[in-house]
Amino acid sequence: MYRRLAVPTGLTFLLLSLLVGCASVNAPSERSELPAITAKIQVSGQARELPTKAGEQRIKYKRRATVVAQLGQGFGFSYRPRLAEGEISQQTTLPVTITVTHPPLTLADGRETRVTQWDSEMELDKINHGVWMFESERMLVPGSWYLSVDYNGQSLAKRHYVVDIVPTAPQKLTSVCSADESRYLSGLARDHNACCNNNDAHACFNFAWRGVERSGDTLGAALYYGRGCELGDPSACRFAGRLAKDHQQKQRWYSLGCELNDTDSCQKLMD
């Protein structure tokens, strides 16, 4: 089952732990006698709850290191703990502490905190989940976040996440290097700056592919693919050719791509 845990700091969190079985948990005084454990993270990224199935709550992960701060969603990972080689234990459920290190969060009483911890349990040889869910406006803070599952005084599994705020919808672009960087996630804004101010060809491609085209602006994407191609990125040439409106434009971009040893662009010239 999943448990919602109350946190004494005043913030509420959703820790999602898959618990199967009913073995007892060691008392804190017995932690020094806990067996050695290893763990492997299965999936990590943005997380959200799925509708229950057969009475069991489920988590869906979107693999990414940069996550968007949205109410009702969060981030974290699934992991499978196992006994270390040579260890023997009758226990199947063991105590863990979840530690989240984050930018300053303002509590309901006005105090700030940078580290939040709560106690939980993990089930050996089962898939467990450690997830932080954004449940209030106070939690929607961008920056570097770390989530760690700590066992017997040491980190058993840990991941770093870059949390970003939800940007406003970008406007359609009519000229290259005219994008409003504040309308894109921070990583895309850095790509735009590198493309336009540092003449970074691959950054132009990334901005066009991951940002502009995915927003539905194919004309704007073509402009940035074109800049990336002219700066020497062969993939940008191929993508610019794909979005070109007429045969002459397509041939131009594919020719530049072929000159940069892009096999697919060369093939397009012969089609």
The pLDDT tens digits for 148-160 are 999 999 999 999 9
pLDDT score of 123: 93
Average pLDDT of span 135-144: 90
Q: Is the pLDDT of residue 20 over 80?
A: no
Structure-block tokens of residue 269: 């010239």
How high is the pLDDT of residue 57? 63
Domains, the chain: 28-164 (2.60.40.2390), 181-270 (1.25.40.10)
Q: Are 94 and 25 in contact (CB under 8 A)?
A: yes
Q: CA 237, CA 232: separation in Å to the nearest integer?
A: 8
Answer whether residue 48 shows pLDDT above 70: yes
3-state SS string over 1-59?
CCCCCECCCCCECCCCCCCCCCCCCCCHHHHHHCCCEEEEEEEEEEEEEEEEECCEEEE
CA distance 152 to 81: 13
Residue 56 to residue 64: CA distance in whole angstroms: 25
Report the range of poorest mean pLDDT among 32-41, 42-51, 53-62, 147-156. 53-62
- Predicted local confidence at residue 200, as pLDDT: 97
Residue 86 has pLDDT above 70, yes or no: yes
Q: What is the pLDDT of residues 226-235, one digit of tens each?
A: 999 999 999 9
pTM, 2 dp? 0.58
From 11-20, 143-152, 257-266, the region with the lowest mean pLDDT: 11-20
Give yes or no for a contact between 85 and 91, defined as CB atoms under 8 angstroms apart: no
Mean pLDDT of 181-203: 91
What's the confidence (pLDDT) of residue 23?
31
**Cα–Cα distance list, 167 to 71, 97, 258, 260 (Å):** 14, 33, 37, 35
Q: What number is the average pLDDT over the span 191-196?
A: 96
- Mean of pLDDT over the chain: 86
| Encoded tokens for 217 | 């602006």
Looking at the predicted structure, is the pLDDT value of residue 180 above 70?
yes
